[in-house]
Structure 1
Amino acid sequence: MSLRERITALGWVLPETPSPKGDYVPVTIHAGVAYVSGQVCRVGEGVISGPVTDQTPPQTVLHAGQTCALRALSVLDQAVGLENIERILFVRGFVYGGEGFQNFSKVVDGASQVLIDVFGECGRHARSAVGVAGLPSGGLLELEVVAAVKPNA
């Protein structure tokens, strides 16, 4: 089963590849490593908004993580093709947290699970989850992904 077929079987759809909202590129590839620019949890013309608190519904938090991860996969697919990703190396999540919120790592779990579900063991990665005072468009989560690209891809 191809990675695109696996994504479909899991009930997800890769979104249209997002275009940069500033003066940067969506992905930079150097020495066989792809660095994906931060992907905010945008859905259509809107955004899953923060700040996240202990009262934020778990489904909202999960949806934000899944959305960011699928946007990152869309960027990788356009840049090198998903089949040319050898493994996910690192994920960094920036979480727009409300006053007193401390469960930043839990917010990034949904994104990590998407990458593991799609790539299997090659989707397991090192990770950071950082609380921030705000994100573009008031988004709840922004995700950076670093992936190894197969040689000769």
Structure 2
Amino acid sequence: MVDAAHINDTLTAMGLSLPDAPKPAANYEPFVIHDGLLYVSGQISAGPDGLILGRLGDDMTTEDGARAARACALSLLAQARAACDGDLGRIARLIKLTGFVACTPEFTEQPKVINGASDLMAELLGEAGRHARAAVGVAALPLGVAVEIEAVFALA
């Protein structure tokens, strides 16, 4: 299991905090718990100033995309916190991240973009944050955002 106090301390040291769990924008659940697994719906890139919009290889750099992916990771953890009644210590392991990157056909650094989320999860969750992953380039994402990421966690 992860150490919830470590997550909070690390976020504070990084100058970050978890947002409120975003509300669904359509007819779906933000998360589902089934057979000890927590499935978190795709979280789009958004920060304190609103949506993080753009296309990699066009008007965004790989570093910009990695920051957008990190914002998605914060929203994923916010949803996990909501699913676990405020107790991130219930997370036993991050199983998988699936990341979608809005990009031009020539852009090939999707893995480096999704590293923004993967690196943050590893830093916050320690060994339990190591996960399987997919990083996929797409022509467009909802509302014009740059990145969307979904997650599967094992719960204790």
TM-score (norm. length: structure 2): 0.90
CA RMSD of aligned residues (A): 1.6
Once the two structures are TM-superposed, the CA of residue 54 in structure 1 deviates from its matched residue by 7.1
**Which residue is equivalent to 1:16?**
20
Q: What is the DSSP-based 3-state SS (H/G/I as helix, E as strand, rest coil) of the residue aligned with 1:101?
A: coil
**Which residue is equivalent to 1:40?**
44
**Which residue is equivalent to 2:146?**
140
TM-score (norm. length: structure 1): 0.91
Question: Do the aligned partners of 2:94 and 2:131 also contact (CA within 8 Å) in 1?
Answer: yes
Whole-Å separation in 1 of the counterparts to 2:79 and 2:115: 20
Once the two structures are TM-superposed, the CA of residue 5 in structure 1 deviates from its matched residue by 2.3
Whole-Å separation in 1 of the counterparts to 2:9 and 2:88: 11
1:11-58 Cα shifts (integer Å, max 9, x gaps): 211011100000111110001000000000022463111211177334
Matched residues, number: 150
Percent of paired sites with the same residue: 39
Whole-Å separation in 2 of the counterparts to 1:26 and 1:44: 20
Structure 2, unpaired ranges of 5+ = none
User: Equivalences for 1:1-150 in 2 at 5 Å?
Assistant: 2=5, 3-44=7-48, 46-53=50-57, 56-80=60-84, 81-150=87-156
1:62-117 Cα shifts (integer Å, max 9, x gaps): 21011000000000001112111011000000110113111111110000011001
Q: Give, as a single letter, the amino acid of the residue that structure 1 aligns with 2:139.
A: A
Whole-Å separation in 1 of the counterparts to 2:15 and 2:75: 15
